[in-house]
Chain A
Amino acid sequence: MLTYVPDDTLAHRLDPRSKLAVQLGFAAAALTHTGPRAILVLSALAIGMLAAAGVSPIRAVIAARYALVILSLAPLLAALTLGPPWIETDAGLTTALASYRVLLVLLVSTAAVRSTRVRDSRAAIQRTIPGRPGHLLGIGVALLFRFLPVLRADIQTIRDAMAARLGAQRHAHERAGTIALLGLSRAFDRADRLSLALRARCFAWNPTLPPLSFSRLDIPALLLATTLLCSTLLTTIPL
C-alpha cells in the first residue's frame, strides 16, 4: 500500500491540480500511442515522475501487484487460440504492450498518491468542481478518509465475532449477507450520529477552504500535461 508520505520533493511542492492534469494527460497519451517509440518516451516520463516524487520504481511495482495478475494473464489469453496455430504471437505481443502501458499509468498515479495530501486534494476538488456538488464531494472525501479506519475496524469486529461462532462454516451467501447487513447497520448508526453532529456545527454550503495556489514550479507540469493531451488529440482526431 502506497499512501501520502511527507517529504520535500518536486512533486510534493506542485499544486494538486497540476498533478491531476499530468496524470490525466499521461493516461490519455499512454492509452492512445501504441508505437514502440511512444512506449520508450512514456517509460522515461514515468520513471522521471516517480523520481520527482521520491518513489523507487520497484516499490511502485510492488504497490501495483494486484493488477499484475490480470496484466500478465491477458497476453497469454490473447495469444491462445482454439485450433491451429494454437498460439498467435502477434495478438499476445499487442496485448503485452497494452498491459505494459496500463502498468505505466498505475505507476504514475502512485507518484501522485505519495506526494499529495488528501486535505489538498479535497481543496482541489472543491475548487475545480463548482457549486454544491463540489462542496459535498470535497467534504465527502474528507469524511471518507476519516471513517475508513473506523469502518475497517467495525468489519473486522464483525468477522471476528462470526469466526468465534463458527461463522466460517456457514454458506457463502449467509456469510456475505451477515457481514453486509451488520456492516451497513453499524455504518448507518454512525452516519446518523454524524449528521446530528454536522447540524450541531452549522454544516454550511459556504465554508472557508484551505488556501491553494499555483507556483512557478507548476508551469512546466501544466505544459507537460497540455502537451500529452494535445498529442492524444492529434492522434485520435484525423485532421
Chain B
Amino acid sequence: METDQREVELVGDAAVHRFARAALLAALLGAVAPVAIPLPFSPAPITLQVLFVFLAGLVLGPVWSAFSMVLYLIAGAVGVPVFAGFNAGLGVLFGQSGGYLWSYPFAAALIGLFVHRGTDVRDPANVSLPVVVTALVAATTLIYGMGSAYMSLILELNAWEAVTAGALPFIPGEIVKIAAAIAIVRSGRLSPTRVR
C-alpha cells in the first residue's frame, strides 16, 4: 500500500463548529420526517420538515443552511432513510415530490439572506418582525411553487390541478408552522452561539 506523505491540513475551528451544526440539523430534518401533528378541519397533518428548513435559515445563515439542506438531499439520495415515510434513494428526488425537496436549499438560503443580510450570522430576535415574516412567507411560497411546478411537469397535470394536489391542502399547516417559527424567534432562544 502506498504511503500518502502530504501534510495534514486541519479544518479551522469556526468551520468545524458550523459544519457540525449544519450536519446535525440535516440529521434532525430526517429525524422529524415521521412526526405528524393532526390539524382540525384539514386533510393534511402538519409535518415538521418545513419548520426545520425555516430554522436552518434563521439560525445557520444563508451559506451553512443551504449546505445543511444539500447534505440532507445527498444523504437521502445515497440511501440514508431521511425522506418522508423512512424513504431514501435518488428516485425520490426525481419522483412526484422532488420539487419540494429541491427547493429546501434555496428556501433556507433565502431566509438566511433576508434575516442576516449577508454571510455573518446575527441573532434573529434582533431583526424586525416584518422582515422575519416576509422571509418565511417568501420561503414557503418558493417551496410550494417549486413543488407544484415540478409535480405538474412530471405528472403532466395543468397548473391548477397541481396546485390543488400539491399546495392547497397544506396551507393551514404552513400558517401554523410560520406562527411557530415566529414564536421561536420572538422567544429570543435562537441566538447564534447557543440555542436554549
Q: State the A residues within 8 Å of B (CB).
A: 1-4, 16, 20, 23-24, 27, 31, 63-67, 70-71, 73-74, 77-78, 91, 94-95, 98-99, 102, 105-110, 112-113, 116, 118, 121-122, 124-125, 136-137, 139-141, 143-145, 147-148, 151-152, 154-155, 159, 172-177, 179-181, 183-185, 187-188, 190-192, 194-195, 198-199, 202-206, 208
Contacts and interface: CB of A to CB of B under 8 A. Distances in A.
Q: Which of A112, A174, A183, A194 has the most CB of B within 10 A?
A: A183
Interface in B1-53: 4, 6, 8-11, 13, 16-17, 19-28, 30-32, 35, 37-39, 46, 48, 51-52
Contact of B91 (A108, A175, A208): A108
Given A144-B26, A181-B195, A31 B59 contact: no
Interface size class of B (residues with CB under 8 A): 35 or more
Contacts of A184: 25, 28, 52, 55, 59, 190, 195
Contacts of A143: 20, 23-24, 27
Contacts of A152: 31
Contacts, number: 255
A202 B13 CA distance: 10
B92 A155 contact: no
Given A141-B80, A179-B32, A106 B95 contact: yes
Main secondary structure on chain B at its contact with chain A?
helix
A177 B176 CA distance: 9
Contacts of A180: 48, 51-52, 55, 180-181, 184
Given A124-B78, A195-B21, 11 more contacts: A3-B88, A23-B90, A110-B91, A113-B89, A148-B80, A175-B37, A180-B48, A184-B190, A192-B17, A192-B20, A204-B9
Q: Which of A2, A23, A140, A181 has the most CB of B within 10 A?
A: A140
Contacts of B133: none
Interface stretch (B69-77, B110-118, B136-144): B69-77
A50 to B, nearest CB: 12
Interface stretch (B101-109, B123-131, B149-157): B149-157
A172 B82 CA distance: 23
Nearest to A155: B31
B155 A78 contact: yes
A230 to B, nearest CB: 18
A186 B10 CA distance: 27
A177 B165 contact: no
Given A73-B165, A151-B28, A195-B20, A109 B92 contact: yes
Q: Which of A109, A145, A192 has the most CB of B within 10 A?
A: A109
Contacts of B161: 74, 77-78
A110 B84 CA distance: 15
Nearest to B164: A77
Contacts of A109: 88-92
Q: Which of B6, B79, B95 has the most CB of A within 10 A?
A: B79
A203 B10 contact: yes
Contacts of B22: 140
A98 B177 contact: no
A205 B15 CA distance: 11
Interface string B147-187: 00001001111100100110000000000110111011001
B90 A187 contact: no
Nearest to B1: A211
Contacts of B4: 208
Contacts of B158: 78
12 contacts: A77-B165, A102-B96, A110-B89, A139-B19, A140-B74, A141-B71, A144-B75, A173-B179, A176-B37, A184-B190, A192-B21, A198-B11
* A-B CB proximity, top 4 nearest: A109-B91, A109-B89, A66-B85, A121-B78
